[in-house]
Structure 1
Amino acid sequence: MGRILAIDYGLKRTGIAVTDEMGLIAFGLTTVATDDIFAFLKKYTTDENVTDFVVGEPKQMNNEPSESEALILPFLDKLVTNHPEIRIHRQDERFTSKMAFQSMLDAGMGKKQRKNKALVDEISATIILQSFLERT
């Protein structure tokens, strides 16, 4: 079995989460500058056995794609081209940022840590991955 890697794609930063080798436990890995995402993925997938990508799917409350979906589609095209051997799944990412912020509050993180947008993106990716694991 291999790892499942989740991607919370953003214009500036992209949150990354990954499972253990058994594909059971989701944990935050890092946040990468979006300009560097493909270099990061190439190195990570070379070093680790990644079998699946889970990419956040932004939706509106009426279940229609949000405006940011238009920014993710070119990323997905390039992801398929660069990693044709890795399956790609989509996972609804509504409310993940709010859930990430709430989990930071629940964990007792200070105000300075809660303002760390990179950490919020990483936690959001973890929530996306955990939601995917619970769904499958």
Structure 2
Amino acid sequence: MARILALDYGVKRTGIAVTDEFQIIASGLATVPTTELLTYLADYFEKENVELVLVGEPKQMDNTASQSEAAIQEFLNKFKEKFPLMLLERVDERFTSKMAVRTMVDSGLKKKKRQDKSLLDEISATIILQSYLYK
């Protein structure tokens, strides 16, 4: 089997999570500057067998698209152009940031470490991936 990769896309940085080859365990992989994301993914796809990429879909409570959706659509167009054969799917990411903060608190991380936005993005990507795996 191949891995599934999840992205918590952000304008500045993007959190990335990945499954094991059996698609059982979701783990945080990295947080990369969004300007370097396509290069990072190209390198990763060369090294690892990935069959599907999930991209968080931020929505408002009334189910309308959030403000960041325009930037995500721009990224998706570039992604499809660069990786035309890669399967791509969107996953509702409402509340993932709040859940990530709760996870950090529950795991006993000190306040200074919880302020690390890159860790928050990586945990959010992991939650997106878990929600897909366990639906």
- The TM tier, using the shorter chain, reads over 0.9
1:32-47 → structure 2 map (5 Å cutoff): 32-47=32-47
Cα deviation for residue 19 of structure 1 reads 0.2
Query: Matched residues in 1 for 2:94 and 2:69: separation?
Result: 12
Cα deviation for residue 69 of structure 1 reads 0.6
What number of residue pairs does the alignment pair up? Answer: 135
Structure 1 unaligned residues grouped into runs of 5+: none
Query: Matched residues in 1 for 2:84 and 2:51: separation?
Result: 11
1:109-128 → structure 2 map (5 Å cutoff): 109-128=109-128
Aligned partner of 1:104: which letter?
Answer: M
TM-score where L is the length of structure 2: 0.98
1:37 alignment partner, SS class = helix
Alignment-derived partner of residue 9 in structure 2? 9
Structure 2 unaligned residues grouped into runs of 5+: none
1:70 alignment partner, SS class = helix
1:4-39: per-residue Cα shift (whole Å, max 9, x none)? 000010011100000000111111001000010011
Query: Matched residues in 1 for 2:130 and 2:86: separation?
Result: 19
Alignment-derived partner of residue 63 in structure 2? 63
Alignment-derived partner of residue 95 in structure 1? 95
Cα deviation for residue 114 of structure 1 reads 0.3
2:89 alignment partner, SS class = strand
2:53 alignment partner, SS class = strand
Aligned partner of 1:85: which letter?
Answer: L
RMSD: 0.6
1:63 alignment partner, SS class = coil
Alignment-derived partner of residue 75 in structure 1? 75
2:134 alignment partner, SS class = helix
1:69-127: per-residue Cα shift (whole Å, max 9, x none)? 11100100111111112100100011111100000000000011100000000000000
Aligned partner of 1:43: which letter?
Answer: D
Aligned partner of 1:26: which letter?
Answer: A
Runs of 4+ with >4 A deviation: none
Query: Matched residues in 1 for 2:100 and 2:38: separation?
Result: 24
Query: Matched residues in 2 for 1:106 and 1:74: separation?
Result: 35
TM-score where L is the length of structure 1: 0.97
